[in-house]
A and B are shown apart, each in its own frame.
Chain A
């Protein structure tokens, strides 16, 4: 269970939660507990030692580019394939060994497909509702997702966004404790995306745990309690959206002055990264508070420079993400 721990430690922010040696089976355990999972497709390693946990009633977003390994990791949690290393526990159960006990408690939304193309939206949702002991009202759910008028439309005649919304409804109709949403808003227009976000928000409010994948930064930022940034099969960073954007070295100060100033002493003085990005365009990246801002300007004054513009930028999740994923592919 503990092989591959070396990979875990090499990430910049190893998983935030304390590691427990044994999984408990009580109600207090995490909804999802993934430890050092490895997934290989022949020679290709899609997931290379990922650990994460989804606390009950919270939303975790797996953020990453296509091919980062998000879906592969989800497949392990859903029991579609076993890990080639490490372990996954879902609601305290083994996704493969306890498959039949686990499935009624899960809601699964695949990235595409998974339903009969010739069945109507209403029939599909009704079918999945009939699997459940206490299903949600099918008409209510169709209304909620704006699908009521498509109830008699065959699945293959629905647009991509409509198919996505139906797949979401299918995942929710059995009133699951935990839902896996693989790129839930892919192919949706702005309105549908907003509806979906509100719905996911109400899932959390009602105590449902959610593990979703996305490559949309705004989606991760607005929905998730925890964001795990995946890159090339490994965890590049973990934290709340605020933690990720406020972490050390992510504020940026841009100063415009004469080109060609000797900036090395400033970098040493501040313990920050100072670069001249264009002629006379200086960027100071580091943990910058009011004091260090004053220090920077004082330094420019001492250097006899004429400062013509000062701009501070709080980094967005996008900056963090781009910096992490670009760094890892190099």
Chain B
């Protein structure tokens, strides 16, 4: 047999190279989808400027930006890790992309890793960009508690990702899109971002992870105080429940 064009020479590229190109693909495709960019940056930016700089909404404090900017950061995490992720995953599942990429040298764990890395990357970029806008218009963050702020953000991201993968596995992509967008709008309105959430006390942190995350970011970044134990507990529980359910119910096709 002579050596021809297609003479087999199989093998997997180094996993680092595979993951790098996969993460790049995920990011390129996200940037290409207009509605994802609007959800991820446009809406939070509008809320930040609208609620932060005008008296359009009532906030339970005199420091409007100190209340609104951390809330917007929390909202952004939810929009990317939950709404955007659920919609993308739902469609990728229905297009057979998850199934196909799972059956490639990328492997299923590789695909999940790439998705997580892309989400963390996006969340990082968005938080940085919005925080910079916040600072530009007058927000003065306190950096003494920045590590706990990162910690609760990672927990919130994990919880949102878990729920995103869960509903993307259970519902049709059209339903996922409608549902995830609706939840986003509801949370935007009632999640304690633009104006105070219904005062449920500590219980509220366990009902609304967004409110818990927003409050934790206000405590740390605006006030420079520690994250309350109840918020740590709430977000840890949310993350554990979401990831457990996602691991049980996730469907590749």
Interface residues of A (CB under 8 A from B): 57, 78-80, 99-100, 103-106, 108, 110, 112-119, 123, 126-128, 130-136, 140, 144, 172, 174-177, 202-203, 205-208
Contact = CB atoms under 8 A, between A and B. Distances in A.
Given A103-B107, A130-B17, A116 B92 contact: yes
A79 B9 contact: no
Sort chain B's interface into a size bin: 20 to 34
Among all A-B residue pairs, the 4 with the closest Cβ atoms: A133-B11, A114-B100, A113-B96, A206-B4
A119 B29 contact: yes
Contacts of A110: 96, 99-100
Interface of B: 1, 3-13, 17-18, 21-22, 25, 28-29, 32-33, 91-92, 95-97, 99-100, 103-107, 253
Contacts of B253: 80
A-side binding surface: helix, strand, loop or mixed?
Answer: loop
B25 A175 contact: no
A59 to B, nearest CB: 13
Contacts of A118: 29, 32-33
A105 B104 CA distance: 9
B8 A207 contact: yes
A116 B10 contact: no
B11 A104 contact: yes
Contact of A116 (B8, B29, B104, B107): B29
B25 A108 contact: no
Contacts of B103: 78-80, 99, 103, 106, 108
A176 B8 contact: yes
A76 B81 CA distance: 34
A205 B100 contact: no
B107 A113 contact: no
A130 B114 CA distance: 14
Contacts of A208: 6-8
Given A131-B12, A136-B5, A205-B4, A119 B104 contact: no
B18 A131 contact: yes
Contacts of A103: 12, 103-105, 107
A202 B18 contact: no
Contacts of A175: 6-10
